[in-house]
Amino acid sequence: MGPWPHGAGQLKIKLKFYLYLNRKFMFGLYLGIFLFIIGLLIFKNSGSTIILLIIALELLLLAVGLIFTHTSFILDDFIGTSIAFYLLSLAGAESAVLLSVILAYYPKRGTLTVS
């Protein structure tokens, strides 16, 4: 009869299908982690350029939002999605504030580098 009890063949097929779907589902998490690492690298290596710092912060916030949304989809709850909505609005507000700071900073200094 083998190591599997009666009817376990269907369970084996379901398990293989779940693992196949799980690999496909993990792509979003891997993409979010990859974007987060890219954002950290840009933030670290941007030197003193304000524009690159803003792009890096946006990338970090959006990568975290992607991770929360994807985890929420996998766990089948709404908490991660609501946190992602909050992060998205926070990223938009942060962009608006930092771009207004740039508009005020550039005419006085004549450059967009932070000393």
pLDDT per position as a tens digit, 7-24? 555 656 655 666 666 666
pLDDT of residue 36: 95
Q: For residues 81 and 72, is the Cβ–Cβ distance under 8 A?
A: yes
Q: What is the pLDDT of residue 71?
A: 82
Q: What pLDDT, in 10s, does the model give residues 34-65?
A: 999 999 999 999 877 888 888 899 999 999 99
3-state helix, strand, coil in the chain (%, to 5): 85, 0, 15
Q: Which domains does the chain have, with CATH numbers?
A: 28-109 (1.10.287.3510)
Mean pLDDT computed over 77-88: 88
pLDDT value at residue 107: 85
Low-confidence winner among 7-16, 22-31, 79-88, 104-113 (lowest mean pLDDT): 7-16
